Amino acid sequence: MENKEQITYIGNGLLINAPAKINLSLLIAGKRPDGFHEIETIMAKINWYDEILIERGPEPGINLICKGQYWAPQGEENLVYKAAQIFMDNCQLKEPLNITLTKNIPAGTGLGSASSDAAATLIGLNKYLKTEIDNSLNSMASDLGSDVAFFLDGPLAYCTGKGEKIYKIEKIFDFTTLLILPDISVSTKKVYENYRHDMALYEKLKLQINENITKNRIDLVTKVCANMLELSCFSLNKQLADLKKEIEKLNIGNCCLSGSGSTLYCLFERGDESEVIKYQNMIKEKIGCNCLVASNNRW
């Protein structure tokens, strides 16, 4: 995949690339008093992007156009629209806006594309309208969803709370990833509702992962391949569990679940993409599942 710039001017419009993410680790610390789950996760942006084009509209209000390979909700149900609305309300603006979302990343796959789209909209409007309210974007992001704040910065961070407490990891962690993309959409809500907490497992994984974070060894974190939502996701989606077993039989390394699913991924060091492409072709040939090769995003 090609690395792209975050923001590009196109005529009188502004194009913002919205990268996907993968969870390099995902622990559940337990359930919170508010009913949400307390999470501890390391998230990394990858160079696969949705696109947000912001232009001046013909009349007051927000006009959202959705296009691209994958479906996205239209109008006020879309996080892009909600992000634009909360931004305009916060700035007390009524500029006429045309916003075009090109959906290249499928929803319900654990790649955070809707959250990234929302963050890109906030960043883009702040730039396009010259409002210079960078310090206010985080509070808007938290109102929009748990993962949105992560996409305002990056490219690598340790996130806690519901995912909205962001601790940027300064170390550059270069990797190539093979994304395995089954034609399955997973409901994050159902996965969390189905989750049964294992405190002993949490304590064991937390010890391992925190020790590696302290040493600044994110590469060792990824080798743990820890995702405490995996059991819940797989119990709801047996075909995903079966797919992981089939991939692991090919002996290409750890196969991990991103977020609540459905994307599985295998991680490799940067520098030998020809080997990764060989594995990509092997999975397509032997299992028949769509795969994509990506790498860590630079911003």
Mean pLDDT value of segment 180-191: 95
Mean pLDDT value of segment 33-57: 97
Q: How large a percentage of the chain has pLDDT more than 70?
A: 100
Burial 36-75 (b: 16+ CB within 10 A, else e): ebbbbbbbbbbbbbbbbbbbeeeeeebbbebeeebebeee
| CATH topology (fold) of 7-168 | Ribosomal Protein S5; domain 2 (3.30.230)
Helix (H) or strand (E) holding 56: strand 37-56
What are 44-53's pLDDT values in tens digits? 999 999 999 9
Note the pTM of the prediction, 2 decimals: 0.96
Catalytic residue among 31, 34, 147, 223: 147
- Listed by start position, the domains of the chain span 7-168, 175-295
Q: State the Cα–Cα distance between residues 10 and 180, nearest whole angstrom.
A: 33
272 has pLDDT over 90 = no
The pLDDT confidence band at residue 85, using thresholds 50, 70 and 90, is: very high
The pLDDT confidence band at residue 125, using thresholds 50, 70 and 90, is: very high
Predicted confidence at residue 102, as pLDDT, reads: 98
What are 214-259's pLDDT values in tens digits? 999 999 999 999 999 999 999 999 999 999 999 999 999 999 999 9
Contact 84, 97 (CB under 8 A): yes
Query: Does residue 261 come out as left (phi exceeding 0), alpha (psi in the -120 to 50 range) or beta?
Result: left
Catalytic residue among 21, 45, 82, 103: 21
Predicted confidence at residue 270, as pLDDT, reads: 87
Contact 264, 180 (CB under 8 A): yes
Do domains 7-168 and 175-295 share one topology? The answer is: no
Contact 22, 46 (CB under 8 A): yes
To the query of whether residue 183 is one of the catalytic residues in this protein, the response is no
Predicted confidence at residue 273, as pLDDT, reads: 87
- Specify the amino acid at residue 293: V
To the query of whether residue 147 is one of the catalytic residues in this protein, the response is yes
CATH architecture of 175-295: 2-Layer Sandwich (3.30)
What are 126-136's pLDDT values in tens digits? 999 999 999 99
